[in-house]
Amino acid sequence: MTESCVGCGAIIKVIDGPIHRYMTSAPGCWERYGELLGALAIDPTLRVARQLCVDAYATQHPGTPGPQAIQSVAVHLINFHDYLVRRRPVSVPHLLGHKGAFHWLQPPSFASSRTVFDVPVSASGEEITEAARAWAESVWAAWSPHHAQVAAWYATFAR
Ligand SMILES: [Zn+2]
């Protein structure tokens, strides 16, 4: 039995398991993400890959409108704006005065985006980082209807 993940749309085996409180997904998708983060956490040279994966997963599993989901999606999209548009080193930008300032962005379709299953759990650091970046870029591209809003938030709140 397979199912389609409510967040990223990946087709995965149905399993019984936990999911995140607001980054709603199929249990099999959440499990794969946990496995990937576990693998990335071991190697300090995979810090960039890890950050890109955290941002990609959060923005590809936006959940439903609610304060935490709104905050999470906005902050992770602002991170993408920082590294993928402004080409700054991958390191979370500092935000100031943004609490309660964001609103819900209607999630796009991720039908042609990469997913967590496209990032290998065991491969060379370069392969993993390259796959993480390709995943991040494809998710960021899917959010293009909201790029202008994210740029405006960045300009207002990033320090
Ligand atoms: Zn998913």
Ligand 1 centroid to Cα of residue 23, in Å, is: 9
- Per-residue pLDDT, 91: 87
pLDDT score of 42 more than 90: no
- Residue 159 CA to residue 138 CA, distance in Å, equals 26
- Residue 130 CA to residue 146 CA, distance in Å, equals 25
Ligand 1 centroid to Cα of residue 134, in Å, is: 16
Average pLDDT over every residue of 11-22 = 96
**Given CA atoms 58, 75, 66, 112 in this order, what sign does their dihedral have?**
negative
Ligand 1 centroid to Cα of residue 96, in Å, is: 30
pLDDT tens digits, residue range 118-132? 999 999 999 999 999
Whole-number mean pLDDT of the chain? 96
Ligand 1 centroid to Cα of residue 148, in Å, is: 25
Its domain, for residue 62, covers 2-157
Ligand 1 centroid to Cα of residue 44, in Å, is: 25
Three-class SS state of 113: coil
Map tokens 């207002």 to a residue. 156
Segment (H or E) for 77: helix 67-80
pLDDT score of 12 more than 90: yes
Tell me the pLDDT band of 99, cut-offs 50, 70 and 90.
confident
Ligand 1 centroid to Cα of residue 30, in Å, is: 7
- Per-residue pLDDT, 150: 98
pLDDT score of 115 more than 90: yes
The total number of structural domains in the chain stands at 1
Tell me the pLDDT band of 4, cut-offs 50, 70 and 90.
very high
Average pLDDT over every residue of 78-106 = 94
CB neighbourhood size of 19 (10 A):
19
pLDDT tens digits, residue range 125-156? 999 999 999 999 999 999 999 999 999 999 99
Ligand 1 centroid to Cα of residue 156, in Å, is: 31
Indicate the residue type of 28: G
Ligand 1 centroid to Cα of residue 107, in Å, is: 13
